[in-house]
Amino acid sequence: MNIKFKLITYIIVTLMFMACTDDNHTNKTIPHPKEDLISEKVDALIKIMTLKEKIGQMNQYNGFWDVTGPVPNEGDAEEKYEHLKNGLVGSMLSVRGTKAVRAVQKIAVEESRLGIPLIIGFDVIHGYKTLSPIPLAEAASWDLEAIERSAQVAAAEASAAGINWTFAPMVDISRDPRWGRVMEGAGEDPFLGSKIAVARVRGFQGDDLSAVNTIAACAKHFAAYGFSEAGKEYNTVDIGNSTLHNIALPPFKATVDANVKTLMNAFNELDGVPATGNKYLLRDILKNKWGFKGFVISDWASIKELVVWGYAKDNKDAAKMAALAGSDMDMESHIYVFELEQLVKDGSIDEEIIDDAVSRILTVKFELGLFDDPYRYCDEIREKEVINSPEHLDAVLDMAKKSIVLLKNENHLLPLKKEGQNIALIGALANEKNSPLGSWRIASKDSTGVSVLEGMQNYKGNHLVYKKGTDVTIGSTQFINELNINNTDKSGFKDAIDAAKKADVVVMVLGEHGFQSGEARSRTDIDLPGVQQELLEEVYKVNKNIVLVLNNGRPLTINWADKHIPAILETWQLGTQAGNAVAQVLYGDYNPSGKLPMTFPRNVGQIPIYYNYKNTGRPISDTNNPNLVFWSHYSDVENTPLYPFGHGLSYTTFKYENLVLNKKTFDINESVHISVNVTNTGKVTGKEVVQLYIRDLVASTTRPVKELKEFELIELQAGETKTVNFVLNKASLGFYNNQGDFIIEPGEFEIFVGGSSYTSLDTRFELELF
């Protein structure tokens, strides 16, 4: 530790001692818990900071030069460097690697007046170098322990590279697969989304944030970003209070209860107010009602965008609105650092607002242990040992296998035989090593994924022939305007068709390239891109024994495939070990157990489509009466989805029976105990996600026809029966009213239990006020 750092530490300790010996200090003889000690250190440090230095802590810059090279001497980079060494930068993002992080940290700690360390942020979305499946795929596992372990792997590698803060998890609920960022979240359901959000926060932050293998998490995007109109990125949001409080906000509330350290603003507006300047969201709900103790960061330049929205007249006005609303740190708008000081001096903002924001930021830095050792994340030996370790490769392979969903399997076409078959493997994505890595993997090296071809080549007993058929390619960059999504080259059709003619089974790997979903990758057509659909149909004409392996970052409209193709595997984009995971499922070394976290529509005209819809005054009819016209339906397609939320098959089958409640009438304060027997009626061991849904039949605001409230992942041997027990309490049976207050009301409830949202068993009970 350098002399300046020791001096600042001495000053803080001295100020704390002075406070503790004050006559008005009420706890001078009582030992302080860790959080109280940190609070006193933060207060002591703020006392010796100038207003400019405080505002500097609220300023975050992107990596603006190669920090291992010469210092910039012109333009914007020179100014940012001056800010860095003068203590006017609180955080940097996209600086990675121990050498680079040590270099910027050294400037902040050893050249600024107070030597306050930086917090280093990075988009660690589904891994750092060793990549897990995209988050939507992980959600399909419904395996909370595996998801937490995946986040632990990401945290271990990122922290080994000098990073101590990730801009994840994204906990936005979305019902629109046109929105490219569905790949980054957990799907359409707030209960499942909340459970997964907490698992990811725990995985990133661990039990001790100061441990060198943990990083601070950031729940984003607050709030309702997943409801962007028409699924178009950065678009406006217009939803009612019931949807806001019961669907959009619960995963954020769950992360706050799990002690998430930071939240990120959304790009959208809500009720005409951009989220970054939305006091109702940030102060009234998040900080006051929920008691959030961490800090809020803007999304990239979203404070400056308050002007573009037409909500602020200029940058000064934007700084005022964002700070007063509760945005604590400015990501790359360059506005706080230039505007806030004058706003305080002229009385537009009380300095207490600044102190509150800075206190939150400094608290996280203390909790990370950066004041104990600002270089704690800069161990080059650990960086080499941890990243891409065999243990991490095993963990992401396990996660990848658990993420695969078997959508269809007629005539037991899967699993494939391990010997004696001629197999034609068709599709450009089958030989892809880059696309399986998915979007949002900016630290990973391109083309380091295992392809499906490589995975299948590990099985030597069959004759395997590969033909590309057609391209699904990208250009020279990752940006959407470079994506070649309309490829019309059919020159490879003939070779693929000839191979299919000679094959016993055809495996076709089709879908989206990994960069066709993600941020700014909204699509109006979510069919198979290019001429892949035509290739599929041409191959089907010569060989109907087709296994369709889907690679995609969102639900696709595959109505034709569902009608014609006997076996369909949803494999998403599975990360570093993708091809090995797919091959092990194809050949039966792993029995698929995934369940869909999002509904698959029949066509885009059904979107938004989701399982927990409202009944309406003219509900969906169960009859086939052709004369029945005036009810909620389409005239050209049935209301049902292609594949419902929670759907997923196995190489075995499961039978549900004997759904039992401990009684039929309950006091409103009692817990409801439910049991169901589940039997593996097939010939192999398998896992099943047992799902429990409720319906509140009459309420002060209308409730959905079904709501997921519990689930349990179980494993059963062939012929084995297990009794699965669930308990529903007030938290399970209540809901949020339009003022955002959680309430529970007496009345009749229906219970549904099964292997998807299309459940097989149901019963009812009454909740009363005794």
Catalytic residue positions?
299
For residues 770 and 767, give the distance between their C-alpha atoms in angstroms, rounded to a whole number: 9
Secondary structure element (H or E) that encloses residue 75, with its range: helix 75-85
Structural tokens at position 598: 């999002």
The terminus-to-terminus CA distance of the chain in angstroms comes to 65
Contact 570, 630 (CB under 8 A): no
Nearest to 127 by CA among 204, 238, 18: 204
Nearest to 649 by CA among 766, 567, 564, 580: 567
For residues 134 and 571, give the distance between their C-alpha atoms in angstroms, rounded to a whole number: 10
Nearest to 338 by CA among 3, 92, 56: 56
2 CB-near residues (< 8 Å, 6+ apart): 109, 110, 115
For residues 331 and 614, give the distance between their C-alpha atoms in angstroms, rounded to a whole number: 39
Q: Position of tokens 């161990």?
A: 379
Q: How crowded is the C-beta side of 431, counted as CA atoms within 13 Å?
A: 14
Secondary structure element (H or E) that encloses residue 409, with its range: strand 405-409
Secondary structure element (H or E) that encloses residue 581, with its range: helix 578-586
10 CB-near residues (< 8 Å, 6+ apart): none
619 CB-near residues (< 8 Å, 6+ apart): 631, 632
For residues 483 and 498, give the distance between their C-alpha atoms in angstroms, rounded to a whole number: 29
Helical H runs in 161-208? 190-205
**Concatenated DSSP letters of 417-474:** PSSS-EEEEE-GGGG-SSGGG-SS-TTSPTT-SPPHHHHHHT--SSEEEEE--S--EE
